[in-house]
Amino acid sequence: MAAKRIQSALISVFYKDGLEPIIKELDRLGVTIYSTGGTQSFIEGLGVKVEAVEDLTTYPSILDGRVKTLHPKVFGGILARREENHLAQLGDYDIPELDLVIVDLYPFEETVANTEEESAIIEKIDIGGISLIRAAAKNYRDVAVVPSRAEYGMILDMLQTKDGVTDLADRKELARRAFKISSHYDTAIFNYFDEHQTEDRSFKKSILHSQTLRYGENPHQEGIFYGDLEVMFEKIGGKELSYNNLVDVDAAVALMREFKDAAPTFAILKHTNSCGVATRPTILEAWTAALAGDNISAFGGILIANTTIDLATAQEIDKIFYEVLIAPGFTDEALELLTKKKKRILLRIKDFTVQTRSFKSLLNGVIEQDTDTRIEDRDELKVVTKKAPSQQQIDDLLFANIVCKHLKSNTIVLAKDHQLFGMGCGQTSRVDALKQAIIKAGAFGFDLQGAVMASDAFFPFPDCVEIAHEAGIVAVTQPGGSIKDQASIDYCDEHDMAMVMTGVRHFKH
Ligand SMILES: NC(=O)c1ncn([C@@H]2O[C@H](COP(=O)(O)O)[C@@H](O)[C@H]2O)c1NC=O
């Protein structure tokens, strides 16, 4: 008996919107509707007959609504298997069968987001509704459950096209969704209680949206993204985002977030590392200067701007092959041109915010930390050398420090006039990172005389400032904290270099 006709329904919803067409359809099908106070009034307002749950239970809703459906006459009608023994018991206790349960839970997450008042939050922990959902889902062989407004379309379609008959596969799918909703809801409640706990924590994350990716990092690996990209981006064109695209887009957004309020800035990234970054008076100039940083690595890169892309910039960008272009806006003419290349992914970014906590799988568990959203401003730069950097050099040091923060450790950034000249990253020694940065700067024609250097962590020895000086570097920023800091400072003093310390390390593994 896989197909079931809906003859009775219990409806208890917090938000009433979207319910009307379902009620009308149930009414057309002659379904007996039971409902709780507010939902009952809403249905009556539609001119549809409805039985009060209070009449069924012969109890009023008590304790300010904390107990209204929690009663054997309700749960018996949902949980009874439609077989002789259970149906006989329903008969003995005068309990009606309930074939369909529609619930929209108290908005717990929304309440947590909007208030810190604990009593208001606690009252929004739904007890009766979540029990109704779980009971109906457990008995999916006989009962259909609608656990949230997201399933309204699905049930309406079933009512309309199958005339109130549900089949087992559909009811099982609704049950799967019901446990997805109930576990998500309980995860949110748990995380609220667990938030300030220091011991005995449990890692629980629930994301309702997902996207199956073509593959993972490589074609032989499966890949899935859990999240809702539409909240952050409007995808204007191009192929599906791949696993690697998503990783790179994440790195690009984290970097450009630091330049959100700066003058027009462009960054070009490959494998999460930036190979070109520049800030200029116009976005076209920023693009040109970023590309000059390394026009070879830029091939197939991820491009991100903090400013609307105009036609002139689009015409230049269009000359190279890139994977993804992200910007807060595109002029119509720019879009007309850029969308001609059908595979190129164009994302209009709506929101530069990054998650405040980040985590990844590791060994037999997960490692979690605060996201590194800290960035130093000019007041935090402590001059440790006899010579202080000029205002222009301070600007360049701050620029280089941001770029450095977003490169894989160990990393060194060389920059001048708000332009990345060369970087070394992902190196096992800081000296190698510096040598790589110098080679790259040279390869793309940059003269390092008067340029600045940023390091993600302290210099264990003075070798880096020695090599930097020989290359022409005049000012350095680094966190400091090495027992040999003084040796680097002394070298700078002896060679007319300026050094500032931030006191903040920015490792990125
Ligand atoms: N306490 C109960 O027995 C109970 N039964 C259902 N609810 C919830 O009450 C809300 C609907 O109430 P009303 O129909 O009165 O507006 C729904 O969000 C439903 O999930 C309950 N409320 C909270 O637990």
pLDDT in tens, 466-489: 999 999 999 999 999 999 999 999
Beta strands in 26-83 (DSSP E): 32-35, 51-52
Closest CA to 397 of 500, 262, 506: 500
**One-character DSSP codes across 92-136:** HTT-----EEEEE---HHHHHHH---HHHHHHT--SHHHHHHHHH
Q: How many Å lie between the centroid of ligand 1 and the Cα of residue 40?
A: 11
pLDDT band of residue 2 (cuts 50, 70, 90) is confident
E strand or H helix that includes residue 39: helix 37-45
pLDDT at site 164: 87
Catalytic residue among 24, 124, 162, 271: 271
* CATH no. for 232-349: 3.40.140.20
Q: What is the pLDDT of residues 67-118, one digit of tens each?
A: 999 999 999 999 999 999 999 999 999 999 999 999 999 999 999 999 999 9
* Ligand 1 atom with minimal separation from the 35 CA: 14
Atom 19 (ligand 1): residue with closest C-alpha? 129
**Segment holding 11, helix H or strand E:** strand 8-13
Question: Do 4-194 and 378-501 come out as alike in CATH topology?
Answer: no
d(CA 4, CA 8): 11
For the stretch 184-235, pLDDT in tens is 999 999 999 988 777 888 899 999 999 999 999 999 999 999 999 999 999 9
Angle of helix 430-443 relative to helix 463-471, nearest 10 degrees? Answer: 10
Q: How far apart are CA 165 and CA 162, in angstroms?
A: 5
Reply yes or no on whether 220 is catalytic: no
Give the separation between CA 126 and CA 103, rounded to whole angstroms: 11
Interval 308-326: pLDDT, tens:
999 999 999 999 999 999 9
Tell me how far the alpha carbon of residue 107 lies from the centroid of ligand 1, in angstroms: 11
Fold of 378-501: Cytidine Deaminase; domain 2 (3.40.140)
Spatial CA neighbour of 471 closest among 418, 427, 415, 429 = 415
Residues in CB range of 439: below 8 A, 6 or more apart: 422
Global confidence as pTM: 0.89
As beta bridge partners, residue 424 has 412
Whether 151 is in the pocket of ligand 1, judged by its Cβ within 6 Å, is no
pLDDT at 1 over 70: no
Peptide bond into 114 cis (omega under 30): no
Residue 427 has pLDDT above 60, yes or no: yes
Determine what percent of the chain is predicted with pLDDT higher than 70: 100
Domain ranges across the chain:
4-194, 232-349, 378-501
Cα–Cα separations (whole angstroms), residue 101 to 28, 44, 217, 222, 499: 18, 18, 42, 36, 69
Active site residue 271: yes
pLDDT by residue (tens digit) across 238-279? 999 999 999 999 999 999 999 999 999 999 999 999 999 999
Provide the CATH topology of domain 4-194: Rossmann fold (3.40.50)
Per cent of the chain over pLDDT 90 is 95
For the residues 23-48, what does the mean pLDDT come to?
A: 96
Contact in structure between 237 and 346 (CB atoms under 8 Å):
yes
Q: 365 pLDDT exceeds 70?
A: yes
Q: How far is the CA of 172 from the centre of ligand 1 (A)?
A: 24
Q: What is the ipTM of this complex?
A: 0.94
Distances 203 to 199, 200, 366, 379 between C-alpha atoms, Å: 12, 10, 8, 38
The arithmetic mean of pLDDT across residues 417-441, rounded, is: 97
